[in-house]
Amino acid sequence: MPTNPRGPSPANTLRTWILGREIHRIMQAANHTNTTLAATLGWDRSKLSRLTGGQRRVPLPDLVHLLVTCGHTSKADRDQLLALATHHRVPHHWQNHLNTDLYATTQTDLEHDSIAITYYAPTALPDILHTPEHHHAHLTASPLVPTQTILTRPNPPKITIILGTPALHALAANPDRLRHLAATGRRPHISLRLTTDLSTGPFTLLHTHVCGKVLHLPLHTSSLYTEHPATLRAYDAITTHLLHNTTGPTPILNRLIAVHERIPA
């Protein structure tokens, strides 16, 4: 994985990073800081920091000790985390979001660590393009909702969004969401493209500091994350093909917005 001298140290593997993020979240839920938890466990602070940062694998006895110390006693969660630690070199991770509080922030954490993100959304807007009102009304209970602060943070990632025409036309009856989409697409770090190619399902390619390149395949109640080189190459090729067959969305957006502006209130 690439190093980043100005940012966090690279993770050992995608799975050690995911496990580290979950350990950090469990630690915070138990009102522990790195210092207090390390002292309680009898560990050096650097050891705990490297575990939460994903820079080293987590021995199973250490993981069990940490979970018990933090009062995280769910057997289902424990088994999932132990499996992550045991198979830390497997280049992919399947997350099921049903009946667990684990992995609630994996997507958001990866987005916030990214220097470049490509979204392909053939039939529905990616979460990052929804209006705040839509988020509040429909998405805030979802474990997959990303915070939209990556759009306005200093040094935001370069974002490419390839939107299928059905996703755009689904907004035809909502002028506020159309205007929000148009305004988002005008941000200097965002490239919004439109395609009629619906030959594959939605995906996200993330170029991160700590995990290198990661592919995210979202499903209704689960997600697949992978750093497998052959899979990444395949989706790089798919992305290149999609981009060769895109147009800018501005003309269609303007026409859809103009329709609403001609309708009397």
DSSP designation for 147: P
How much is the mean pLDDT over the chain?
87
Structural domain boundaries of the chain?
14-90, 106-262
Give the chain's residues under pLDDT 50. 1-6, 141-145, 264-265
Does CATH place domain 14-90 in 2.140.10.10? no
- Encoded amino acid at 30, one letter: A
**pLDDT at residue 3, as a whole number:** 41
**pLDDT at residue 7, as a whole number:** 53
**Residue owning tokens 């988020």:** 135
Q: What is the crossing angle of helices 14-29 and 45-52, to 10°?
A: 120
**pLDDT at residue 1, as a whole number:** 45
Largest Cα separation within the chain, whole Å, is 70
Per-residue pLDDT reduced to its tens digit, 66-87: 999 999 988 989 999 999 999 9
Closest to 122 in 3D by CA, of 250, 259, 238: 238
**pLDDT at residue 135, as a whole number:** 63
Distance separating alpha carbons of residues 217 and 201, to the nearest angstrom: 8
106-262 folds as Endonuclease; Chain A (3.30.870)
This model's pTM is above 0.75: yes
Distance separating alpha carbons of residues 33 and 23, to the nearest angstrom: 12
Per-residue pLDDT reduced to its tens digit, 161-211: 999 999 988 888 888 888 888 888 889 999 999 999 999 999 999 999 999
Go through 166-185 and write b for each residue having 16 or more CB atoms within 10 A of its CB, e for each that does not. Answer: ebbeebeeebebbbbbbebb
